[in-house]
Amino acid sequence: MTETIKLKSPIDGSIYAERPVATDQQVNAAVERARAAQVEWAKTSIATRGKYMLAMLEALVGMADEIVPEIAWQMGRPVRYGGEFGGVKERTQYMVEIAEKALAPVPASNPKDGFRRYVKKEPLGVVMVIAPWNYPYLTAVNTIVPALMAGSTVILKHAAQTLLVGERFAQAFEKAGLPKGVFQNIVLNHAQTERLLGSGKIDHVNFTGSVAGGRAIEKAAAGTFMTLGLELGGKDPAYVLPDAKMDHAIANLAEGAFFNSGQCCCGIERVYVHEKVYDDFVEGFIAESRNWTLGNPLDKDAVIGPMAQPRFADLIREQKAEALRKGATAHLNVKDERDQAGSPYLPAEVLTGVNHQMSVMREESFGPIVGVMKVRDDEEAIALMNDSPYGLTASIWTADTEHAVRIGDRVETGTVFMNRCDYLDPALVWTGVKDTGKGAALSAIGYDNLTRPKSYHLREKI
């Protein structure tokens, strides 16, 4: 019997899509096609590669009417948000725009008479992208576009929860006329993925997902010497200072905590508020959070949809119950008949009276729950922000830019925000520290991580 991957929709628990897992022969053939196609693709000019990427983008945007409800059915995000096209456009266009300069040879900094010396940035070869379900287009495009622009070929293995996204990318590239084998979408199970990574046939893998998943990737790739890009867990903090513009901080932190049902890599999961403004912040934050109401994601009025899978919602329920047992207070307490064990429907929640002995303040939640904690000063806030195994982003809310920089210099994180959160700027490198992973995406540095340096030391005068 042919093995299949079944996509169970969080909307109603039905099987929304089902696809056969590739056979080992099909996997090997895909890798061989990618390897063969890469030779000619690397000879293609960067300008021509860019035209293909922009044509793919145009084709993808042209599918919006189909893609938006597909996202809702696959992982639960409300249709009111219209998909991920804004970010996909911004990232694709920017990485195409900077490619010529970012991929240009780098001359030696100390010229020597009679010699030509420089470093070329060579494509890695075959790049595998293992993409997650929470932002299925945005996270995938972070590597797909720059890898292709750099002259590598790409094999995409998308999450089971968002099976159809890989097909949409494949359709868009086909409409763009991309040469055969340069981009391929493939359906694999975990065992096949591990075997492929351990085969030595893949030159680079980019994985976005859990810490456990990242460790499995590293283990599978051990001994192959392939390069890795790993964006793993997060527990992103915010610190609100007394001089913060309170209405702005409240509105943006609520969105940072609850957008996409809290299923954001850089979403806000814990908020530290200076004692001078704590009461005002909590009052306003609770009021603002009540606007983040739960609904059917196919309803244009729904603000929060179901979580992608029931087990994700159950984890949040366990974190909330533990926090309440240890003395925390829940402030929203929304009653919804769909909110029960084994259901992906989970209303937003705000907790106070929390501390770092509670899992909700230490362990990744990845859901619509946030703890708010009072702090005395910067020293306490910084210590608590760093009291985490993760480090993707941290946001600081203040009117004093230099103060924010001084705090940011001491926070163990990949990105420091001031007066904003939960955003990825393609001109800035996307990276993390500690258990959040390693590697870097986007910006010119992202290109450095998707190429290998090759030195040319040429004596022209003898």
pLDDT in tens, 119-147: 999 999 999 999 999 999 999 999 999 99
Q: Which residues are within 8 A (CB) of 413 and not within 5 positions of it... i.e. 6 or more apart?
A: 236, 385, 391, 392, 393, 394, 432, 433
Tell whether the model's pLDDT for residue 262 goes beyond 90: yes
Distance CA 427, CA 413 (A): 18
What pLDDT shows up at residue 1?
Answer: 76
Looking at residue 54, its amino acid is L
Q: Of 264, 265, 266, 421, which one is the catalytic site residue?
A: 265
Q: Of 231, 255, 288, 364, which one is the catalytic site residue?
A: 231
Catalytic site includes residue 402: no
Catalytic site includes residue 380: no
Tell whether the model's pLDDT for residue 242 goes beyond 90: yes
What is the Cα gyration radius of the chain? Answer: 23
Listed residue (208, 188, 73, 66) closest to 138, CA to CA: 208
Listed residue (19, 11, 20) closest to 71, CA to CA: 11
What pLDDT shows up at residue 246?
Answer: 98
Q: Which residues are within 8 A (CB) of 376 and not within 5 positions of it... i.e. 6 or more apart?
A: 274, 275
pLDDT in tens, 381-420: 999 999 999 999 999 999 999 999 999 999 999 999 999 9
How far from the centroid of its chain's Cα atoms is residue 207's Cα?
9
Tell whether the model's pLDDT for residue 337 goes beyond 80: yes
pLDDT in tens, 76-110: 999 999 999 999 999 999 999 999 999 999 999 99
Decide if 362 contacts 318 (C-beta within 8 A): no
Looking at residue 358, its amino acid is M
CB burial of residue 300 (10 Å; 0-12, 13-18, 19+): exposed
Looking at residue 388, its amino acid is S
Rounded to whole angstroms, what are the CA distances from 67 to 62, 83, 212, 444? 9, 7, 30, 30
Average pLDDT rounded to a whole number, residues 433-438: 96
Predicted TM-score (pTM) of this structure: 0.97
Confidence of residue 249 (pLDDT cuts 50, 70, 90): very high
pLDDT in tens, 369-380: 999 999 999 999
